Amino acid sequence: MEHPLSDFSSISSLKSLCTLLSDPVEENENQCSAFLGPGEIGPVKKLQQNDSTSTQIPKDKKQIWNSTEVPEGSEYDDSLDPRERPEYEILFKQRVGSEDIFLGMSQKDPSTACCEDMVFRIRLPGTKSSDVSLDVRRKYLDLRTPKHKLGLHLPYTVNPKTGRAKFIVDTETLELTLNIVRDYEYPFCVTNNP
């Protein structure tokens, strides 16, 4: 007795089965082949034209990309610059009062989601405060001195107009405080952003 599945072992029998199971209306659209995979099951899906591709094409034909495609701060990236990258640390700061510490009324927690400020401490040995050039954008920090260069993509969006900078001469450290701007507030963190 012949095994019932032995009929489907040849390519011609698979094509016959494909024709039998396919819809006659879609017969012109579906092309049956011997090498079917899971992606070929069902009707053929036509690719839809995406309207977002038309917005990515620059208006000026000489430009190869649109300014919205380039991340902020990438114009400062220069891998061939011989200046060294200084040591730095990022700290997060909350504004809390006695009602927060003793009573927990604002329901703040120690996570960065409840912080209002970012504090950058950048060590610049052998640098005077007059040598420091600082440019702060919403998502990028650019610091340059004759010996050092630091370009940082910031973890949070900041308000560049309300930042404070202080150069500590004894430790040759620049301390920069930037206010975090949140598009939405967490319900458990009550903040007082200016």
Residue spans per domain, the chain? 4-40, 74-180
Domain 74-180 has CATH 2.40.160.10: no
Highest-confidence segment of 44-48, 66-70, 107-111, 130-134: 130-134
Mean pLDDT of the 68-90 span: 77
Residue 165's nearest CA partner among 147, 179, 148 is 179
Instruction: Name the residue with tokens 């050039």.
Output: 133
* Residues 17-40: tens digit of each pLDDT: 777 777 665 555 445 555 667 766
* Residues 127-154: tens digit of each pLDDT: 998 999 999 999 999 999 999 999 899 9
Global pTM reads 0.55
- Cα(184)–Cα(152) distance, rounded to whole angstroms? 23
